[in-house]
Amino acid sequence: MKNYIQKDEWNIIEEGFDPALNKISESLFSIGNGRFGQRANFEESYTGDTLQGNYVAGIYYPDKTRVGWWKNGYPEYFAKILNSANWIALLIEIEGEQFDLNNCKISNFKRILHMKEGYLERSFIAELKNGRQVKVNAVRFCSISDTEIGAIQYSITPLNFSGTITITSLIDGDVKNKDSNYDEKFWDEVYQEVKDEQAYLTLRTKKTGFDVCTGISTSFFCKREKLPIKSEAISRKKIVGNRIQQEVTEQVEYTIYKYAAIVSSENYERSELINACKEALKRATEKGFENLLEDQNQAWKKKWEESDILIEGDTAAQQGIRFNIFQLNQTYTGEDARLNIGPKGFTGEKYGGSTYWDTEAYCVPFYLSTAKQEVSKNLLLYRYRHLPKAIENAEKLGFVNGAALYPMVTINGEECHNEWEITFEEIHRNGAIAYAIFNYVRYTGDHDYLIDYGLEVLIAIARFWSQRVNWSEEKQQFVILGVTGPNEYENNVNNNWYTNLMATWCLSYTMEVLTYVAEHSPTAYQNLLQKTNFNRETETSRWNKIIDKMYFPSHDKLGIFLQQDGYLDKEQILVKDLDKKHYPIHQNWSWDRILRSCFIKQADVLQGLYFFEDNYDIETLRKNFDFYEARTIHESSLSPCVHSILAAKLGNEERAYEFYLRTSRLDLDDYNNDTQDGLHITSMAGTWMSVVEGFAGMRVRNNKLHFNPMLPAKWTSYSFTIGFRGSKLNLSIKKSLIKISNHSEKDLIIVIRDQEHRIAGKTDIEVSSFKVKTDEG
């Protein structure tokens, strides 16, 4: 837990430089544009504690698996997002001394992430060992309007001397992943070129053979005039650049503009790569820094119009939610169905891979409401494209007949996780992938998706469940043995309620969609039957049997569903009664102790109740919430948001707010002492959900948006914009008033607290507000 980021509604601000916090700030001040991104490393040399990180979306390396004890079925490789060429490097020598903040006296240090405008700024005054003082202001961004471009404006003013400075502007491709299993470097050089102010470097990943070409152009200005300096070429293995020497005058500001272009073989033919890079760089240099930044501001303005949440009366909460929205929009822009949302985005290496079930469970809802439909559709198509690999994956584990098990972690569709209790057993992820299809169609009404892609995925998933259950002679019911539920503080359990629920729901939903497709597109239906070799009668007859006879652990007296068989045999201790010295238990307890404790890492039964709340009466929700919430220790970043939403649903504003704060400032306040490794990108979507689905109670029922708003006591008001089936509306919730603005031309029907309202195009309505305790109230 840290508290050094200044509270501000639109900016993330660090004042003063503390080297011990540098890696945390490098994560927090990360910038990206969906196509590439980077940690907030310094441009100049820094010999202090730092984690260098530059990442290009979709470019990965399959690192050879490292395990202690091999289990049959483990994947041989773990696909990792690569640390790629560093294009920001501006090494500066001042009067013969390497400029390095680790060796300077620093004052007036300030780092600002301008979230509204989408750029990073850093300024400070530094005194070198040789006594020379300089003032620096550095601005940089990854363009979201032209996603092949990055730009830096680095201004330096000699404060107490005139003399010589040397600037070495580099592309440094001699980088490696800190998490490399066998300490290998993953890149080979295939091309380099240095010419005048420009340098180009093409690197190729080993094994996967991705080419990434980076180009830079560096120029030196004084008083808005470009200085006519001849630069010296730097050309070493995997490192290229230009060196400039310049006499500088005391108290005069000099500015370096460095533009970068980054293109990859994912988007160009290899043979076209260098030309594409040169063209992108030309676009950047021709436009110039100020215009590029203006474009950036405009592009971000549009993003914020779509996705901002305004909170009044609570700066910390306002900053938290905006930080989350900003980082999500930096990570994934949704134009490319080959990409997905890595758990750390472009802010760190940890966890490798890029896609967990987080995407389906937490991120899809955010993009559904705040971006055009194509964005969430692309997230779904990502899985559709991986279906053949998911079928292969299931075959590897002994499944047959086109059953699919989607990987726990993946980049290219292949599993790249290697803990048996997760890789092989945390199979509920398959349910989340089906649920995302359901959720997407429920929100968008895009039933064609089911016909074109959805049903094929659903059949394969249903087949998996149909084979994964087994009949218990003893129980005379179907059971699902040996699983790990969402609560990863249990491994290899029997009859995880959530998993059993998802399994039967998948079967039901697939049958529902089968009927829909058969009715609405008989040809597509027939083609699919053939393609998947699907025998509707025999296969669905087993599915129906399973649905009829599935076993669900529960406890009548307590009125709860049981997380799994035997859960009540555990010693029942509440989290509130656990001495805080044990927190976090995953750092203080051995794994077996965690496993046999009743403590829950993240929503499990409650995740199921969140997904399907309409199937349960409020009393059931309350009993389960009260029971499980008391035992949940929230050591996953994905945990608080679901609890916040359920607490809001149950009218428990205090708890809902408490959970909200925990999720929204998780990284800003470094709750879990791990922000230095990178940000928790996917859980950021959960924060958005806490406000929109939690406090505002948004649901989609029968093709209509429903709201059931509450206002946290601390807030004066909050408002947000939602896109829904071509309409755009803004909700503003105040103590006394709920205002809904229909920004679209056409009429909109929404339901507020079970009361339907029609809002004509381009008009507002106001509904008087009152505090609602529960859904019943």
What does the DSSP assignment read for 97-114?
EE-BGGGSEEEEEEEEEE
Other beta carbons within 10 angstroms of residue 401's beta carbon come to 17
Identify which of 487, 479, 493, 432 has the alpha carbon closest to the alpha carbon of residue 458.
432
* Residue 264 or 491 with smaller CB distance to a copy of itself: 491
CB of 224 to a copy of itself, least distance (A): 54
* Residue 228 or 398 with smaller CB distance to a copy of itself: 398
| β-pair type (309-312, 699-701) | unpaired
CB of 682 to a copy of itself, least distance (A): 19
CB of 409 to a copy of itself, least distance (A): 12
CB of 396 to a copy of itself, least distance (A): 7
What the block records as the tokens of 231 is: 């630069």
266 given a catalytic annotation: no
* Residue 145 or 477 with smaller CB distance to a copy of itself: 477
Cα separations in angstroms, 254 against 154, 220, 248, 540, 652: 8, 7, 8, 73, 57
* Residue 298 or 492 with smaller CB distance to a copy of itself: 492
Asked if residue 727 lies in contact with residue 317, where contact means CB atoms within 8 angstroms, the answer is no
CB of 432 to a copy of itself, least distance (A): 19
The Cα–Cα gap between 317 and 445 comes to: 33
The Cα–Cα gap between 334 and 317 comes to: 27
Which of helix, strand or coil describes residue 78?
strand
The Cα–Cα gap between 684 and 691 comes to: 12
CB of 596 to a copy of itself, least distance (A): 4
* Residue 146 or 488 with smaller CB distance to a copy of itself: 488
* Residue 241 or 343 with smaller CB distance to a copy of itself: 343
State residue 745 phi and psi, 5-degree precision: -75, -40
Asked if residue 30 lies in contact with residue 39, where contact means CB atoms within 8 angstroms, the answer is yes
* Residue 417 or 662 with smaller CB distance to a copy of itself: 417
Report angle CA 106, 111, 117 to the nearest 5 degrees. 155
The Cα–Cα gap between 777 and 774 comes to: 5
CB of 413 to a copy of itself, least distance (A): 18
The Cα–Cα gap between 275 and 287 comes to: 18
- Pure H helices in 411-477: 420-423, 429-444, 448-449, 455-468
* Residue 424 or 715 with smaller CB distance to a copy of itself: 424
CB of 2 to a copy of itself, least distance (A): 23
- Which residue among 14, 117, 488, 490 is the active-site one? 488
- Pure H helices in 250-288: 273-287
Q: Would you tell me which residues interact with a copy of itself (CB under 8 A)?
A: 65-69, 71-73, 396-398, 418-421, 424-425, 470-475, 479, 481-482, 491-494, 565-566, 568-572, 586-593, 595-596
Asked if residue 400 lies in contact with residue 467, where contact means CB atoms within 8 angstroms, the answer is yes
What the block records as the tokens of 767 is: 């509904």
Q: What positions carry a catalytic annotation? A: 488
